[in-house]
Amino acid sequence: MFDLAGKIAVVTGGSRGIGRATSIALAEAGAFVLVNYRSNEEAAKETLRLIEGAGGQGELLPFDVADPGAVDRAIQGAVERHGRIDILVNNAGISIDQLLLRVSSKDLEMTWATNVGGAVYCAKACIRPMMRNKWGRIVNVSSVVAESGNPGQVAYSASKAALLGITRTLAREYASRGITVNAVAPGFIETDMTFDLSEAAKQKIIDQTPLGRIGRPEEVAAAVVFLASEEASYITGQVVRVNGGMYV
């Protein structure tokens, strides 16, 4: 439906879950997708196989988003090989779930370094190539809990709320350069991140969700593809909530 032919896209955390579905959906729309991951090479290769199986194109781009030097080296190399970066999806994320009384400074630091630092480092590395082309799309993957809060997720919800601040600030900083910056805020989506939840916890989430089910990674990916498209050119600084109505 949306045509991304000729665009070069970077998807952080593209090896699994929402990042994998997003990588495939962007490739199906015609983008060449650089599939980032941190350590799970097998899963990343499987994403690439699925991209190619769907008739798309891409390559692997391993780096730790929390390491600014590694981010710069990887993005610079990608720009040298492909000449441009058009689309950045800041999807890589971790959740370390603890109640306030148990959360450690290490939990906070690790969550912040990946979820917040990672998004800023990747945006910083991609913004010059985007400015040169006077066109760019940055989509940050936040979460419903950034706005609703969730017991046991003090570090995670803080990091995802920070992503919304980053989204709004970068939207204002780079609008004049033809670059839009938006966020998607998924509700509960069936991935490795939510795999360990008990059946009772999953049922509770379903009961709180007007659409009556947990979401699929492809349903988040569809919103990302739209925000990355030409058709979304008048949308910036916004949050698209893909949550089955659980927070309205």
Binding site for ligand NAP (CB under 6 A): 12-13, 15-19, 36-40, 43, 64-66, 91-95, 114, 118, 141, 143, 186, 188-189, 191-194
In the bound complex, what is the minimum distance in angstroms from residue 93's beta carbon to ligand NAP? 2
In the bound complex, what is the minimum distance in angstroms from residue 212's beta carbon to ligand NAP? 16
Q: Which is nearer to ligand NAP, 19 or 136 (CB)?
A: 19
Q: Which is nearer to ligand NAP, 15 or 167 (CB)?
A: 15
In the bound complex, what is the minimum distance in angstroms from residue 132's beta carbon to ligand NAP? 25
In the bound complex, what is the minimum distance in angstroms from residue 14's beta carbon to ligand NAP? 6
Helix axes 41-53, 17-28, angle to 10 degrees: 30
User: Does 156 qualify as catalytic in the annotation?
Assistant: yes
156, 174, 234, 247: the active-site residue: 156
SS3 of the chain: the string is CCCCCCCEEEECCCCCHHHHHHHHHHHHCCCEEEECCCCCHHHHHHHHHHHHHCCCEEEECCCCCCCHHHHHHHHHHHHHHHCCCCEEEECCCCCCCECHHHCCHHHHHHHHHHHHHHHHHHHHHHHHHHHHHCCEEEEEECCCHHHHCCCCEHHHHHHHHHHHHHHHHHHHHHHHHCEEEEEEEECCECCHHHHCCCHHHHHHHHHCCCCCCCECHHHHHHHHHHHHCHHHCCCCCCEEEECCCCCC
Q: Which is nearer to ligand NAP, 136 or 186 (CB)?
A: 186
Q: Which is nearer to ligand NAP, 133 or 194 (CB)?
A: 194
Q: Which is nearer to ligand NAP, 16 or 137 (CB)?
A: 16
Residues in the chain: 248
In the bound complex, what is the minimum distance in angstroms from residue 155's beta carbon to ligand NAP? 12
Instruction: Return the active site residues.
Output: 156
